[in-house]
Amino acid sequence: MKWLVIRPEDPLIQSDRLNTVWNHVCSTVFPDSSGGLTVLHTIDDLDNLLKKPAVLTGCRVLFVIALGRGGINLTLSAMIRLLRLNPGCMDGSAAAMVVDGETEMYTKSAASELALALSMAGCTLIGRCLVEGTGSLYNFTVTARNLSTDLFTAYKESAAELAMRLSDFSFPHRGAPRILCVHACNKATSNTLHLWDYVKEGIRPGSEIREISLRNKDVKDCAGCSFETCMYYSKNLSCFYGGTIVEDVYPALEWCDRLVLLCPNYNDALSASLTAMINRLTSLFRKKPFYDKQLFALIVSGYSGSDLVARQLIDALSMNKGFTLPGNFALTATANLPGSIDRITGIEEKARRFGEYLSL
Ligand SMILES: Cc1cc2nc3c(=O)[nH]c(=O)nc-3n(C[C@H](O)[C@H](O)[C@H](O)COP(=O)(O)O)c2cc1C
């Protein structure tokens, strides 16, 4: 297995804490081979590798990133730009990331920006691919309690566990996929639903498809029950409110191995029904994270902002709920008036190829 460790070096940022975390990962996960790991630090290191054919493909890639007080690592930003300029450069690789902050903010946003760039470069993100150390490490309170240890030890152990999961990750099996599509689109007018019709034309024979429409259903948002109450419902494969989420979505999600969400951009975010559905998955997630399921999406914006919707999906479903995020997980388009998706040159063919890809 080819391992690549990417530690973007910014002269204005120094993190002794992250160095200690990294040393712990090396000693527990790579005790024999840490000397032999390829470690990239600079934008030139990455650029040089990109010039060699296929060096970045088929690797396990661990990002180890310090953000500093300002929350921006300029070398990381330059690396994200390079990834965006080289689609497919990380085909067949799988990645995870440790992000260390000095304040309570920016770790998650830096991680999701990187995750989107990686997916668009063809790289798979393993479910729950992020271990973040916020300035106070308060985010490790529950992990520390569960491990009966202090916050910093919980951070080190979480980083080592992440590297181990990346090492053990196996790509999902191919062939005969069970595809679940969930949406809340208007059948008569929606560009996003029309795009899904084109995608279906490309889905390979042997695949099974189920579709659930949440439109005009009473999809209540998560009630925010206590942990104990949520666990009680979780054991019974249920949730406080019941209804279509429990009766239709839960069993279909258990059945599928690929989830496709149809996401019109509503105020630079997911629509309320889809957001409520995702929040209501918490009960199912408590039973088991969704590591064995892959997330795909069709995202249509009237004018702009599909990247924001894509990042919301990455954060909520992959980083939080554990869905595996495949390379090129989202097909995006810009179309506003009903039917205007058809004015995009080549959209039908592009959608058909996406259908082929998601049913590989
Ligand atoms: C409530 C609402 C909010 C919207 N907000 C945005 C927006 O913030 N940015 C944008 O580009 N388009 C926005 N749109 C336009 C839709 O993204 C656009 O119509 C697109 O075609 C997808 O929706 P559709 O599948 O219903 O056609 C919004 C539409 C609605 C109904």
Residues 18 and 109 in one domain: yes
CB count within 10 Å of CB 53 equals: 7
Pocket test for ligand 1, best of 193, 199, 265 (most atoms within 8 A of CB): 265
Nearest-angstrom CA–CA distance, 228 and 282: 13
**Would the CB of 191 count as within 6 Å of ligand 1?**
yes
Mean pLDDT of the chain: 96
- Pocket probe mutation, ligand 1, options 190, 198, 266, 342, max atoms within 8 Å of Cβ: 266
**Domains held by the chain: number:** 2
Per-residue pLDDT tens over the stretch 344-360: 999 999 999 999 999 99
**Looking at the structure, do residues 308 and 250 belong to the same domain, yes or no?**
yes
Say if ligand 1 is within 6 A of residue 192 CB.
yes
Whole-angstrom distance, CA of residue 196 vs CA of residue 333: 12
* Model confidence pLDDT, tens digit, residues 253-271: 999 999 999 999 999 999 9
pLDDT digits (tens, 9 = 90+) for 129-166: 999 999 999 999 999 999 999 999 999 999 999 999 99
Atom of ligand 1 nearest to the CA of 340: 21
pLDDT at 175: 85
| pTM, rounded to two decimals | 0.97
Burial (CB count <10 Å: 0-12, 13-18, 19+), residue 271: buried
Q: Would you say residue 36 has pLDDT above 90?
A: no
Q: Based on the domain organization, do 310 and 247 belong to the same domain?
A: yes
148 lines ligand 1 (CB under 6 A): no
pLDDT of residue 173: 85
pLDDT at 124: 98
| Of the candidates 282, 299, 287, the residue with the CA atom closest to the CA atom of residue 190 | 299
Query: Is residue 134 helix, strand or coil?
Result: coil
| Nearest atom (ligand 1) to Cα of 186 | 26
Compute, in angstroms, the gap from residue 191 CA to the centroid of ligand 1: 10
**Token digits for 185?**
């689109």
Q: Which domain holds residue 294?
A: 178-358
Does the pLDDT value for residue 32 go beyond 90? no
d(C-alpha 43, C-alpha 337), whole Å: 42
Using the predicted structure, report yes or no on whether residue 107 has a pLDDT greater than 80.
Answer: yes
Is 173 a member of any domain? no
Rounded to an integer, the average pLDDT of 6-35 is 91
Judge if 136 and 192 occupy the same domain: no
The protein residue with its alpha carbon nearest to ligand 1, atom 29, reads 266
Question: Of 168, 186, 214, which closes a domain?
Answer: 168
In Å, how far from its chain's centre is CA 181?
17
pLDDT, position 70: 96
Question: In ligand 1, which atom is closest to the CA atom of 300?
Answer: 22
- DSSP calls for 34-61: GGG-EEE-SHHHHHHHHHSTTTTTTEEE
Q: Which of 324, 183, 195, 205 is closest to 257 using CA atoms?
A: 324
Structure tokens at 239: 């949730």
Angle at 173 between CA 194 and CA 319, to 5 degrees: 70
For atom 4 of ligand 1, the residue with the nearest CA is: 266
Give yes or no for residue 185 CB within 6 A of ligand 1. Answer: yes
10 and 156 fall within a common domain: yes
Residue 59, burial from CB neighbour count under 10 angstroms (0-12, 13-18, 19+): buried
Q: 141 and 215: one domain?
A: no
CA separation for the pair 19, 309 (Å, rounded): 34
Residues 6+ apart with CB under 8 A from 345: none
Together in a domain, 40 and 98: yes
* Smallest CA separation from ligand 1 atom 16, residue: 302
* 333 lies in the same domain as 241: yes
Indicate whether 251 and 147 sit together in one domain: no
* H/E run at residue 294: strand 294-301
Q: Is the pLDDT of residue 55 over 90?
A: no
**pLDDT value of residue 34:** 60
Which residue minimizes the CA distance to atom 28 of ligand 1?
Answer: 266
CA-nearest residue for atom 26, ligand 1, is 190
- Quick one: tokens of 247? 């009766």
